[in-house]
């Protein structure tokens, strides 16, 4: 089954990409690695989802935000590689949660992205990971996640 077929079977539609808001690339290749810049969650209209986890949003809501970020990361991978079938493995995620000081469920929140990657890439999606809390994130977004993936050489 191709990754596109798996996305369809899972009922997953990838979001449209937005233009970076600063002078950086959404993804950079270095050898066989693809480094994906940190991304935040957006609503159906593409507006950033903002606020503190633990006050404005519950851990369950923030977990859904992390899944939205995962979808955005998949869109960037697809745009950069031409096909998600070129992902050899997801190597690392670094997840940050904009949380109140007493919030401690950061790993649970970032599981929203980790679980998505495990669904989309069953054998290739298990990855190393960090999940940390932050006192703030850019534009007050709830979650930011960056990723590193190993890519397959393009075959013709």
Q: Tell me which residue has tokens 């997953």.
A: 12
Q: Are 60 and 13 in contact (CB under 8 A)?
A: no
- Predicted local confidence at residue 156, as pLDDT: 55
- Predicted local confidence at residue 155, as pLDDT: 64
pLDDT 10s digits, 5-42: 999 999 999 998 877 777 889 999 999 999 999 999 99
105: helix, strand or coil: coil
Residue 116 CB contacts under 8 Å (≥ 6 apart), including other chains: 67, 70, 71, 74
| Spans of all domains in the chain | 3-13+25-151
Q: For domain 3-13+25-151, which architecture applies?
A: 2-Layer Sandwich (3.30)
Q: At 62, list the tokens.
A: 């923030």
Q: Give the HSE-up count for residue 135: Cα atoms under 13 Å, Cβ half-sphere.
A: 0
Q: At 29, list the tokens.
A: 């290749």
Phi, psi angle pair for 134, to nearest 5°: -125, 150
d(CA 119, CA 90): 12
pLDDT 10s digits, 82-111: 999 999 999 999 999 999 999 999 999 999
* Residue from 114, 150, 126, 130 nearest 31 by CA: 150
Question: What pTM value is reported for the model?
Answer: 0.95
């Amino acid at each position: 089954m191709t990754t596109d077929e798996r996305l369809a079977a899972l009922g997953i539609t990838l979001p449209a990409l937005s233009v970076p808001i600063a002078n950086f690339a959404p993804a950079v290749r270095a050898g066989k690695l693809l480094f994906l810049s940190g991304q935040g969650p957006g609503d159906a209209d593409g507006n950033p989802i903002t606020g503190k986890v633990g006050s404005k949003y519950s851990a369950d809501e923030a977990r859904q935000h992390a899944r939205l970020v995962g979808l955005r990361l998949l869109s960037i991978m697809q745009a950069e590689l031409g096909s998600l079938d070129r992902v050899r493995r997801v190597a690392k995620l670094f997840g940050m949660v904009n949380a109140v000081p007493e919030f401690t469920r950061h790993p649970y929140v970032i599981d929203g992205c980790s679980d998505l990657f495990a669904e989309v890439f069953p054998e290739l999606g298990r990855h190393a990971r960090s999940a940390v809390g932050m006192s703030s994130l850019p534009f007050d977004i709830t979650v930011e996640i960056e990723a590193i993936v190993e890519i397959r050489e393009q075959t013709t």
